[in-house]
Amino acid sequence: MNATDDYIATFPDDVRPILTEVAAALRRALPGAEERIRYDMPAFMLGDRYALHFAGWKKHVGLYPVAPLEPALEAEVAPYRAAKDTVKLLYRDPVPTDLVERIAVALRRMHEDR
């Protein structure tokens, strides 16, 4: 187990599979990314400075920070936007793993271009 898995293990039985699914999607999208805990939540490092974090909450899992994306992808993300840089996935809905992966890939590319 690693720090991400340890974090997920602290959640109730009904939430752990959802967080595991999000973590798996991020691992597929960001192969080789360093995983660490930052700000008390798992972070997948996008280079030396930037990270994509996720956190479990009472009714949802959040992805942070998710900068504005290219228009077509942003249109898909819009229903999940909870704030300028937050994506909120409710536990009651199926996890849009393909969308999570595409968000992570887009953010990685944005940070590579900097």
Domain of 60, CATH number, reads 3.90.1150.200
Residue span of the structural domain in which 49 resides: 3-112
What does the radius of gyration of the chain's CA atoms come to, in whole angstroms?
13
Number of domains in the chain: 1
Question: Distance between CA atoms of 73 and 78, rounded to whole angstroms?
Answer: 9
Tell whether the model's pLDDT for residue 76 goes beyond 70.
Answer: yes
Tell whether the model's pLDDT for residue 113 goes beyond 80.
Answer: no
Tell whether the model's pLDDT for residue 40 goes beyond 80.
Answer: yes
* DSSP conformation class of 80: G
Tell whether the model's pLDDT for residue 11 goes beyond 80.
Answer: yes
Q: How confident is the model at residue 31 (pLDDT cuts 50, 70, 90)?
A: very high
Question: Distance between CA atoms of 52 and 44, rounded to whole angstroms?
Answer: 5
